[in-house]
Amino acid sequence: MSNQTYTPDSEPSPRKSHATKLWFPIILLAAVAVYLIISDNSLTSPKDIIVPTPPLEQQTPLETLLYTQLPQLVLDAGEDNWTLDDVHFNENKTQALLWMAEHDPETGETLAREPEIILAVWNEDANKWSLHLTSDPEFNSFFMTTDFKDDEIAERFRSGSDPKPGPGTVYGGYYLPWKGGLTKRLTWSVAHSSCTPKSYCKFAFDFADGTMFEVMAAKGGYVYHWRDTCSNGDSGCTNSITLEDRTTTPWTYQIYLHLAKNSIPQSLKTKGVYVTQGTKLAKADDTGLSTGHHLHFMVVEAETLDKCKNYCFGKAVDITFRDVEINWDAATQGGRPRLLAEASWYGGTGRTNYASGNGLSSQPWIQIFPFISR
């Protein structure tokens, strides 16, 4: 999300000094500060739910109730490390989509990744808001009865069971999707819960470094779908590019989400154009379902690929990267990025930062005779 600031046209007129009248409130404030420090340090606990809100005069009564009740409602749901990143209300302010950002437990920094989604619905009989998390068994079916069912975000929530449960094929040959020699931070992998069924995002990855870094093709493929007309920071519109990989059986699709406006090269805005591994695809941004500049990368099979109405999506498959040495898969000669916290319950090894070995592939023959790889 992009925060707007206001700068006046001119400097305000200097005010007269009232230093002699300030001694009493200064002493009073100092006394209050000392009291808070020595009495109860829980008031500044990093576990407090942070709920940024617009000015009170700009809120409707139902909005005010939501902001007031939200911290306790989130705690009741068992979460204590979330910050409200964005709110999308329906027209009459009786339903709301809440985007909850998570913090780094060590630094307190907001993690740039896809947010946790909460659906809030006003219960008039109980005079309170009720929260529905994506982990709720009936979340998808309930979501499709709300006023948000036709929004772009609805493409994340699918009714029915997982079409391909259990382990599947492991696909290899990928490199981390940014310029070789640079390091980025992994902000989410196997703990992904920004879509339902949750298994759809299990093998997706979120990468960030605090900047709008250049995104490179993780593997060669043919341009299948693209969009980069969404304004940077537009939470209701997602820029993306998808590459079709015809070297796998079945064909697979590399999906790159949350890209910057007008950052896809014009030469790639034609369906069927071949892209070599390491080619610049775009720049990472904060478009769509995002709490900060980052890249969401996943690979899906044709069977679960959706219609790519706004951006392509499907069930992420297990992939390995040749420039990642942990969680190694001998068959594909590659590893899997994973966070330390995720490894603690999922298994394997975890860490935060990953260096890319991605560079342009030397495959001039495939650009001259692209039909050979079909």
pLDDT digits (tens, 9 = 90+) for 78-105: 777 788 889 999 999 999 999 999 988 7
DSSP state of 93: S
* Tokens 């409130």 belong to residue: 25
Q: How many domains does the chain have?
A: 2
Q: Which residues pair with 242 in a beta bridge?
A: 225, 255
Same domain, 77 and 179: no
| pTM for the full predicted model | 0.81
196, 186, 95, 88: which is closest to 139 by C-alpha?
196
Mean pLDDT rounded to a whole number for the chain: 83
pLDDT of 64 above 80: yes
Q: Look up the domain containing 367 and give its range.
A: 171-373
Same domain, 60 and 189: no
Q: Would you say residue 201 lies in a domain? A: yes
pLDDT digits (tens, 9 = 90+) for 198-220: 889 999 999 999 999 999 999 99
Q: Would you say residue 9 lies in a domain? A: no
199, 254, 196: which is closest to 224 by C-alpha?
254
Report d(CA 271, CA 258) in Å as an integer.
20
Q: Coil, helix or strand for 309?
A: coil
**CA distance readout (Å), 265 to 205, 275, 286:** 23, 11, 18
Same domain, 140 and 254: no
Instruction: Measure the CA dihedral 285/290/293/296, to 10°.
Output: -80
The pLDDT of residue 216: 98
